Amino acid sequence: MRMIDETAVANQKLWEAEVQNGCGYTIPWLNLNVTLLRRFANGELAALPEPLDCISPPSIFSDIVGKDVLCLAAGGGQQTAVFGLLGANVTVVDLTAGQLQGDKQAAVHYGYPVTCVQADMRDLSALADSSFDLVFQADSLSYVPDVRQVYREVARVLRPNGLYRIKHYQPVAHAVEADEHGYYIERPYAQKIYHREDGGVEFRHYMDDIFGGLIETGLQLQQVIDVGRNITPDPQAAPRSWAHQDAYVGGGFIIIAVKRDA
């Protein structure tokens, strides 16, 4: 696999370590309730319970049987398992071999095929033009410096009228830190790059890059969902936990974009 730059090297090392450490994002979902997933795909449920609540919105699953789906930078045997069980033809691209092993494990466990490609999300040259009906990406774009690089690749591999589902952090929330006294903003808004203590490298993306980049790439906005606006604080959530932070600070937003015919 071609390593694009030092950022890719650092983040690949980070996520290989996360696999070894058993991070929750690296553990395959091997106890999924297929009936529950089908009810969600049919629109009978507005959302799935944790940790499946990251699988949304239900509208993109309503006609997924037989569709070609790319789970982008989404290794670990989680999102691919949902799509595979719902009857999609699933391909997953991830920077980390350990994450892709989780996708293979889930596919063997449930008995559906999956195509695994180890690659940087900014370089999808291993994939053919116009080969996917849906590209599903969680909040992994914070690991690349320029969202436009990824957008261009997504637009190339999508078929006409294909959908791109992506989750972004709120630019302000991306710099939120916490201590025993509460939440605070640690870095200036103009500071884009963040070198983590564990060696990972993350980037803040601004609204003009997030939305302007999609428009420049020729992808049309279809829907924007503010994930945090309807979260009710959980009195059991520990301060500084993701559940607590999302309720008080707001986590991010989901964008659905469509590739129109030229």
Integer Cα distance of 83 and 71 in angstroms:
9
Query: pLDDT tens, 171-210?
Result: 988 788 888 888 888 889 999 999 999 999 999 999 999 9
Beta bridge partners of 71: 92, 136
Residue 103's identity, in one-letter code, is: D
Please state the φ and ψ torsions of residue 170, each to the nearest 5 degrees: -65, 135
Query: pLDDT tens, 4-49?
Result: 799 999 999 999 999 999 999 999 999 999 999 999 999 998 888 8
Residue whose token pair is 């596919």: 107
Beta strands 219-226 and 252-259 are: antiparallel
Integer Cα distance of 232 and 161 in angstroms:
35
pLDDT, residue 262, reads 61
Residue whose token pair is 């890059």: 209
Residue 232's identity, in one-letter code, is: T
Where residue 251 falls among pLDDT bands split at 50, 70, 90? confident
pLDDT, residue 173, reads 82
Alpha helices in the chain (DSSP H): 6-21, 34-41, 79-85, 97-110, 147-157, 207-217, 242-248
Q: Average pLDDT of the chain?
A: 93
pLDDT, residue 261, reads 74
Pick the more confident residue, 130 or 240.
130
Task: Provide DSSP, 16-54.
Answer: HHHHHHT-GGGS---S--HHHHHHHHTTS-S-PPTTGGG
Query: pLDDT tens, 147-178?
Result: 999 999 999 999 999 999 999 988 988 788 88
pLDDT, residue 104, reads 98
CA atoms within 13 A of residue 229's CA, in its CB half-sphere: 5
Beta bridge partners of 179: 182
Nearest Cα neighbor of 46 from 185, 225, 188, 249 is 225
So where are the chain's domains?
A: 6-259
pLDDT, residue 241, reads 81
pLDDT, residue 50, reads 80
Contact 7, 144 (CB under 8 A): yes
Q: CB under 8 Å, gap of 24 or more: what pairs does 194-198 form?
A: 196/14, 198/14, 198/17
Please state the φ and ψ torsions of residue 257, each to the nearest 5 degrees: -120, 155
pLDDT, residue 246, reads 80
CATH class of 6-259: alpha beta
Average pLDDT over residues 53-77: 94
pLDDT, residue 198, reads 93
Is the pLDDT at 134 greater than 90? The verdict is: yes
Integer Cα distance of 210 and 171 in angstroms:
10
Is the pLDDT at 73 greater than 80? The verdict is: yes
- pTM greater than 0.85: yes
Integer Cα distance of 139 and 7 in angstroms:
17
Share of the chain above pLDDT 70, in %: 99
pLDDT, residue 1, reads 64
